[in-house]
Chain A
């Protein structure tokens, strides 16, 4: 295995609840989701976790950061900011795992959610559709220009 074998995947996730939920509960819920996701990746056998991390947006200056490098070691989560209750949370997951496609990541995350969530609780999770790769985000050149740095060799997924 080489460092370069880890495939970067970004998933944008939205959580929505009918009732406001305390941060501690979001932290536990998303932490469980994360652990289930990491466990499913590990169970596949041919995947190795480099780092799965996520930032859940609580407010402009508040966040919960989740991190997992190994399902057996569990999930680290840390909250920063002011304690509050929220109905909606946006989260970005950045996953670096070997042999794992975007499609499969979504599938495993959705599976993990079904087991995490108690059906009586009115909380929904939605993973945003795959967005096409925006070159600007990579190297700050315009979308219709070839990348002056890597001549677009690195934008293939």
Chain B
């Protein structure tokens, strides 16, 4: 039913994934990233998967003037596998001059669940730029209840952004940093108040991560 791009296409758009639990700040981060890429005249497509019959993030993005491809539904597990693959294939076939595909999965999603859909489109796992947004206000939740989600998310990520540093107590930010270091020593990590904009270090790291 859906075309499977078995072979790797040259010059296909980069994929940036914004992962993180509910309310962590994925949409905020995605918007700042588009603004940064738009300044560099890069063409981006946005895919959003939101839980609930009516989306908030897609409405927000449209009001900001962005086109969004919605993966709708209350069923993360199935829409992500089939619809995501179809959506990426559609972009690869119909939008030739695209530089980036930015994808925000639902905050409930198991980040590993969407990888097969992306690799089925011809991408290699290493080519997927996965940014894990770690809200320090969620340290307790990750430690006490969602430890597996935290480990899986961090282990798949290429970089981690500890955000809300303007809002969280300094102790929380420190604890968050320690959790990152203990679980994935050496992973590129950034601390920021995303509402104030992405840091130059982060922007450089994201652009530098670009596939040659």
Question: Interface size for chain A: under 10, 10 to 19, 20 to 34, or 35 or more residues?
Answer: 35 or more
Stretch in contact with the other chain, from A24-32, A48-56, A107-115: A48-56
Interface residues of A in 101-131 (CB under 8 A from B): none
Interface residues of B in 83-138 (CB under 8 A from A): 83, 107-110, 135, 137-138
Among B56, B79, B82, which residue has its beta carbon within 8 angstroms of that of A92?
Answer: B56
**Given A63-B63, A69-B137, A70-B137, A53:B56 Cβ within 8 A:** yes
- B59 in contact with A53 (CB, 8 Å): no
- A149 in contact with B75 (CB, 8 Å): yes
- B54 in contact with A69 (CB, 8 Å): no
Bound complex: CA A3 to CA B83 (Å): 21
Bound complex: CA A63 to CA B135 (Å): 24
- B56 in contact with A65 (CB, 8 Å): yes
- B23 in contact with A53 (CB, 8 Å): yes
- A63 in contact with B146 (CB, 8 Å): no
- B63 in contact with A62 (CB, 8 Å): yes
Bound complex: CA A149 to CA B138 (Å): 33
What residues of chain A lie closer than 8 Å to B56, measured between beta carbons?
53-55, 65, 92, 94
A residues at B contact (CB < 8 Å): 1-4, 6, 8-10, 12, 50-51, 53-55, 60-63, 65, 67-70, 73, 78, 80-81, 92, 94, 96, 133-134, 137-140, 149-150, 153-155
Would you call B200 an interface residue if the criterion is a C-beta within 8 Å of the partner chain's C-beta atoms?
Answer: no
Among A9, A54, A73, A150, which residue has its beta carbon within 8 angstroms of that of B75?
Answer: A150
Bound complex: CA A50 to CA B23 (Å): 7
Can you name 19 A-B pairs with beta carbons within 8 Å? A3-B107, A4-B108, A6-B22, A8-B74, A12-B54, A50-B22, A50-B23, A53-B56, A55-B56, A63-B59, A69-B23, A80-B63, A92-B59, A94-B54, A94-B55, A137-B53, A138-B53, A138-B74, A138-B79
Among A50, A55, A81, A92, which residue has its beta carbon within 8 angstroms of that of B107?
Answer: A50
**Given A55-B60, A96-B52, A138:B107 Cβ within 8 A:** no
Best-buried of B79, B146, B195 by chain A (most CB within 10 Å): B79
- A133 in contact with B53 (CB, 8 Å): yes
Kindly list 7 other residue pairs between chains A and B, CB separation below 8 angstroms, not including A53-B23, A94-B54, A150-B79.
A8-B53, A50-B21, A67-B23, A96-B51, A96-B107, A138-B79, A154-B78
- Chain B residue, CB-CB nearest to A72: B137
